[in-house]
Structure 1
Amino acid sequence: MVVIQAIVSSEMIATTNNEFCMMSGNSLHYVAPVSLITGNDDEQQMAILAQENRLLFGDDEFDRWVGVGEICQAIDNIVEIERETGFFKGKTVLEVGFTSGLPSVYAMKHGAKSVTIYNESNSLMDAYVKPTMRRNNLNENVEYLIGDFENLKTILENRKFDVIIAPEMVNTKLSYFEESHDILDQILADDGIIFFSGRTHYNNCDGNMPAMLDLIKSKNRFDVIDRSQLFTNQTVPRKIVQLSRKFI
């Protein structure tokens, strides 16, 4: 799958220590250039609309961080609202896409056996991901993979993951979608689950969620569940999608 990254040197990266509080009361500590908005009151809804304006006028990196928060909230709903409290217990987890470390922190705090985090950028891994894991006292059973995307399929050739979390996976070129799908198909365990996210359209690329869902349907390899009902008030909707293997 295509990894979302910003080309930046480590000395250019500004970081702040933050806490992301979810609706259940669960919270995650993280290191990032922005603070993720939580809650549903009017002031916060106005802030969300302001974020979407940034998306429409070109602040795409900021919106990716917002997407990380939304996919974490969707997963927290499964664990806390649907009471799937053992969802991550003993599972192997892969975080790809726009990697921040936050989904991996959530998984480890809820019993995951191990997490693997992949990013093409060593600078971003050192600036955000590793500090986020350290802030949550997660040093064991955490693997970091860095390298060109073209080599990802080879790197993970003989590995399977129980849960794959890919924020902003569709925020890229349409021409990359089929390869992304095929890599997911290769590395997902037989009874595994994938979560990925993306908006209905972007101003910076031709990738979009409807096109990815059409491809998934045409390949007929996965069943699809929409996990994004909490975010339908957005002017440029972001979808949170769950995939599981289709057994015919």
Structure 2
Amino acid sequence: MVVVKSVSRHADVASATSELHMESGQIIRYVAPMTLDCAEMNEHQQVVMLAQEKRLLFGDVSEEAEKWAGVSDLCQAMDHIVEIEKETELFKGKRILEVGFCTGLPSVYALEHGAVEATLVCTDNDALNNYIKPTIRKNNVGKLVNYITCDIEQLREKFETNKFDIILAPELVNTKPEYFEQMHDMLKLALAHNGMIFFSGRTHYNSCDGSMSAMLDLMKSKKCFDIMERSTFNNSVRNETAPRKVVQLMHKMC
């Protein structure tokens, strides 16, 4: 279980290194404006999490903290698939694309489990320089990582000829629904023929109108992807009023 502790955003925070601990024992070192504590929750932490979930309904939860918690949940789901469900070859030899709320953590996990390269899409230069690149350096995978900072039209051109085996997209639906169709089309364009997409998001957010159900409804209407839920956490235990889900997509076999 994840507890997110908000801290002030100043220079010494950006230079501090923390560790994300998976249930399997895997550790990812990272730089972020807050700490992700994945140790088993005690009674006090459960109370804190419940309070956060209640505040989510009324808009008091930090939007940034919410997104970082989504990154942690996606990494935990990936770890469960590889280590618990024993899909140990999932990332081996694969080319990775990280989009959505980009932090570098999902890509680090994939690279440490056999991926040959990762491309990270980030349009926030502050996040790129203060958090993402330092995280990549802390895990010694910099030689395997590429960065894309271009606009949407240039991105489309890149995906016309550059395909990816696995796309990792934490908090993909934490945005305006009017962007969903464009996001769907970009994912379809970027994904290799036999590739997979893993994305995460809540059933609803107070800070925006996006939701997992709205995105899945759109995807079902487009009939381009086979859809499978890969959530590994028990939302009833986590006391979540707006559960976060992890979903896997694959091109439909026509």
- TM-score by length of structure 2 reads 0.89
Q: Helix, strand or coil for the counterpart of 1:157? A: helix
Q: Are the equivalent residues in 2 in contact too, given 1:37–1:44 (CA < 8 A)? A: no
State which of 90, 95, 115 in structure 2 corresponds to 1:92: 95
Q: Are the equivalent residues in 2 in contact too, given 1:23–1:73 (CA < 8 A)? A: yes
Q: Are the equivalent residues in 1 in contact too, given 2:96–2:119 (CA < 8 A)? A: yes
Q: Are the equivalent residues in 1 in contact too, given 2:225–2:251 (CA < 8 A)? A: yes
Task: Specify the alignment match of 1:36 in structure 2.
Answer: 36
- Which runs of structure 2 are paired with 1:23-172 in the superposition (5 Å)? 23-41=23-41, 42-53=43-54, 55=56, 56-172=59-175
* 2-structure distance, mates of 1:105, 1:214: 31
* 2-structure distance, mates of 1:44, 1:114: 37
Structure 1 position 31, deviation (Å): 0.3
Structure 1 position 229, deviation (Å): 4.1
Distance 1:142 1:45, change over 3 A: same
* 1-structure distance, mates of 2:37, 2:52: 10
**CA RMSD, 1 decimal:** 1.8
Task: Specify the alignment match of 2:17 in structure 1.
Answer: 17
Q: Helix, strand or coil for the counterpart of 2:194? A: strand
Q: Helix, strand or coil for the counterpart of 1:71? A: helix
Q: Helix, strand or coil for the counterpart of 2:197? A: strand
- TM-score by length of structure 1 reads 0.91
Identity percentage of aligned residues: 50
Q: Helix, strand or coil for the counterpart of 2:143? A: coil
Query: How many pairs does the alignment contain?
Result: 239
User: Which digits, 9 at most, give the CA deviation of each residue in 1:146-198, with x for residues without a partner?
Assistant: 12234321232211100000000001111100010011111101110000111
Structure 1 position 13, deviation (Å): 8.9
Task: Specify the alignment match of 1:240 in structure 2.
Answer: 246
Task: Specify the alignment match of 1:3 in structure 2.
Answer: none
* 1-structure distance, mates of 2:160, 2:12: 33
Matched to 1:241, the amino acid is: V
Q: Are the equivalent residues in 1 in contact too, given 2:108–2:139 (CA < 8 A)? A: yes
Distance 1:13 1:225, change over 3 A: farther
Task: Specify the alignment match of 1:175 in structure 2.
Answer: 178
Structure 1: runs of 5+ lacking an equivalent: 1-9
Q: Are the equivalent residues in 2 in contact too, given 1:13–1:127 (CA < 8 A)? A: no
Q: Helix, strand or coil for the counterpart of 1:197? A: strand
Q: Helix, strand or coil for the counterpart of 2:161? A: coil
